[in-house]
Amino acid sequence: DSGVTQTPKHLITATGQRVTLRCSPRSGDLSVYWYQQSLDQGLQFLIQYYNGEERAKGNILERFSAQQFPDLHSELNLSSLELGDSALYFCASSPSGRGNYGYTFGSGTRLTVV
């Protein structure tokens, strides 16, 4: 157990639907990062939050959004889902906004859009 908790582990949904993925960072970590892993795109950085504020954006689609709550857990919202959104979504956390101590990844949420 890495200390980063992601729920649900698996999600199957239909095109056009909306889903929410949840992440609880490791205790004491203030930064949360979301990544998407797919066969064709590999691992891609989506977005980072630090202590409740958006810190950086990567290759995140406009249909996707995220937030970090006061208790530091984060949610990634995916809407108007398309078949191509099927992927493994990882959350990672770090103590600060810098990578001095590395990044700890959760076990991921496997999203299947049918």
Partner 1 sequence: ELKVEQNPLFLSMQEGKNYTIYCNYSTTSDRLYWYRQDPGKSLESLFVLLSNGAVKQEGRLMASLDTKARLSTLHITAAVHDLSATYFCAVDNSGGGADGLTFGKGTHLIIQP
**Is the CA virtual torsion 20, 21, 26, 32 positive or negative?**
negative
- What 41-46 contacts at long range (C-beta under 8 Å, 24+ apart), as own/partner pairs, is 41/87, 43/90, 46/76
Smallest distance, Å, CB 50 to partner 1? 8
Q: Which of 24, 48, 68, 93 binds partner 1 (CB under 8 A)?
A: 48
Going residue by residue from 80 to 109, which x/- string records binding to partner 1, judged by CB under 8 A?
----------x-x-x-xxxxxxxxxxxxx-
Classify each residue of 79-109 as buried b or exposed e, where b means 16 or more C-beta atoms within 10 Å of its C-beta.
Answer: eebeeebbbebbbbbbbeeeeeeebbebebb
- What's the min distance (Å) between Cβ of 51 and partner 1? 13
CB of 22 to partner 1, least distance (A): 16
Interface residues toward partner 1, by CB under 8 A: 2, 31, 33, 35, 42-48, 55-56, 58, 90, 92, 94, 96-108, 110
